[in-house]
Amino acid sequence: MASAQDGSAAAHVLLVPLPAQGHMNPMLQFGRRLAYHGLRPTLVATRYVLSTSPPPGDPFRVAAFSDGFDAGGMASCPDPVEYCRRLEAVGSETLAWVIDAEARAGRAPSVLVYDPHMAWVPRVARAAGVPTAAFLSQPCAVDAIYGEVWAGRVPLPMEDGGDLRRRGVLSVDLATADLPPFVAAPELYPKYLDVSIRQFEDLLDADDVFVNSFDDLEPMEAEHMESTWRAKTVGPTLPSFFLDDGRLPANKNHGIDIFTGDAPCMEWLDKQAPCSVVLASYGTVYSLDGAELEELGNGLCNSGKPFLWVVRSSEAHKLSEELRGKCKEKGLVVSWCPQLEVLKHKATGCFLTHCGWNSTMEAIATAVPMVAMPQSADQLTIAKYVETAWEIGVRTRLDEKGFVTKEEVEISIKKVMDGKRAAEYKRNAAKWMQKAKEAAQEAAYMESTWRAKTIGPSLPSFYLDDGRLRSNTAYGFNLFRSTVPCMEWLDKQPPRSVVLVSYGTISTFDVAKLEELGNGLCNSGKPFLWVVRSNEEHKLSVQLRKKCEKRGLIVPFCPQLEVLAHKATGCFLSHCGWNSTLEAIVNGVPLVAMPHWADQLTISKYMESSWGMGVRVQLDKSGSLQREEVERCIREVMDGDRKEDYRRNAARLMNKAKESMQEGGSSDKNIAEFAAKYLK
């Protein structure tokens, strides 16, 4: 893959986001993806932003234009309408200078990516002969609503989303309270409505249109956006570290932080129990008055949960001394936090948020259930989807005076973290996290649907009996470490006697499921090595731990490939992620499949019915896992009538896999042919 750093690509892309953090950071991450594919990105930001923020670093160059407020930026203009007017007037002229300067310096832009909230940008680009690509920064559902209003297919004011639901535009029934207020009450927000729907003014003239979402999240809405506006999903545009994407250099930061702070929130989080903390943050733009802050703060305190509350320094004076003292007993109040890292932290169990789109995507990408407290604009619609379509949390309700009371905050937090549906919210959040990561990584699946060639299994050469490569036993990185002597324990077990149990680095189980799985393992009568990640260990009862000690070993991590290659391993109880399945195949180990979602279901079907190397656990009528079924499957694979068939089939596939990677094998040929093209 060509990269921007290697100098092999000449294509130059200008990135022109709206100069607000929530718009700049997604486009920066989009730029990193473009750089991976060979383009050279230049971030075009306002003079104020570039003078007050550290540069994003490689692979970006930066160029400055003016919004007319070089000394103070957007925050120095109290009237948003006036800001947009000056931004267009001054920005049009200075952006044209940037494009001209880049061309005169030998870096003529090949394409300009812009935020359609600045509907004037494509006119500047076209005047300079530069193609454009629009980057919509909101979810497909909201974009679809604004687009239908712009096209005149929906009259204003909108009373609900019923017509769009009937026409197949939206997949969720939206009430008036779920709609962006600009379309529900246009007479109150005429200028905001204008900016919102003008995004579509020149959209059909853009050479490409992108939206920061992914198909599985909003399939009906994404299909509408593609068929009507040619928009293609490219999200979630988050740092690669949080998407488990090893193709890009690992980065945790978005790139631009307009708000910074040195509060020791990460150290505080390290001292909290797993999944116990509520992160409360309502973005970098919206403000709450003193009464609203009092209700929110007291609701957080009364929930009984430890909380990390982000109150911007410009808002801190609104907190009463009484509330400050109360908050110190249970929580930590900070002026800023690294939100993505906090959401990723094992202690974080709930996110109380205004439901801005970036914050919502960050919660999805880190599998954190939500309490939605929307303020305005698209947040109302997003909150509806959070609660109704994706079912990853609840939305706070207003009282008859239009306020969120302390009681409502407390009730909502308890519902998400302790209520009857708490486990369901966690499962759904984990499901959407997985889909988000799959969406971000799917470019690695095929560069071209019709030119794809198999080049795997891409495992360490040690496991492929490939003497041409220096023998290696590790992928390169292990995110989970352990000093538990599992290999020494395995050395003491009889050949083919041990069940390795591991369900990946992402999937989580609730307490009931862990109890059934653990008891099923114990009742099978087989020695077992059970990988329970450290952030899951607290779910194991003392009784189950003691029972497991008699037959097995519980560890937070194991070198999975080495364990599968060990002579003592006779069965692998797995979620059937593709990597784990390939590792079982390469080591000739029969499987008990316990899939969770996505491709694991299909892989399990192939493993059982097509490849004949194991069985799949069946859930009961209520969709629950039973210990008797776990025991039955293990005994069938290791002691049943077909155990020799499973072993023979696993060994046959093992040999096929190794042949494909050895010199002259099918995958080896494809790799060699690919390399040869660039060695001429």
Inter-CA distances, 401 with 205, 230, 295, 578, Å: 45, 43, 13, 53
Length in residues, the chain: 680
How far is the C-alpha of 79 from the C-alpha of 61, rounded, in Å? 31
Lookup: tokens for 330: 């249970």
Catalytic residue among 23, 224, 254, 345: 23
Structure tokens at 47: 């003079």
Cis peptide leading into residue 41 (ω within 30°): no
Non-local CB neighbours of 485 within 8 Å, separated by 6+ positions: none
Query: Which secondary-structure segment (H or E) carries 573?
Result: strand 569-574
d(CA 508, CA 424) in angstroms, rounded, equals 12
Are the C-beta atoms of 71 and 48 separated by less than 8 Å?
Answer: yes
Pairing of strands 111-114, 132-136: parallel
Listed in sequence order, the residues at least 6 apart from 588 whose beta carbon sits closer than 8 Å to its beta carbon are 647, 650, 651, 653, 654
Q: How far apart are CA 507 and CA 502, in angstroms?
A: 10
Nearest to 392 by CA among 436, 354, 438, 432: 432
Provide the sign of the torsion angle of the four alpha carbons 426, 431, 437, 439, taken in this order: negative
CA gap 115, 97 in Å, rounded:
19
Q: What are phi and psi of 432, to 5 degrees?
A: -70, -30
How do strand 61-65 and strand 40-46 relate by DSSP bridges?
parallel
Q: Could you identify the residue written with the tokens 């290791």?
A: 638
Rounded CA-CA distance 499/591 in Å is 9
**Residue 23 annotated as catalytic:** yes
- Strand ranges (E), 354-502: 370-372, 393-395, 498-502
Neighbours of 299 (CB within 10 A): 26
Whose tokens are 């003008």? That residue is: 198
Element counts in the chain: helices (H) and strands (E): 26, 19
Which of 115, 202, 378, 668 is labelled catalytic?
A: 115
Catalytic site positions: 23, 115
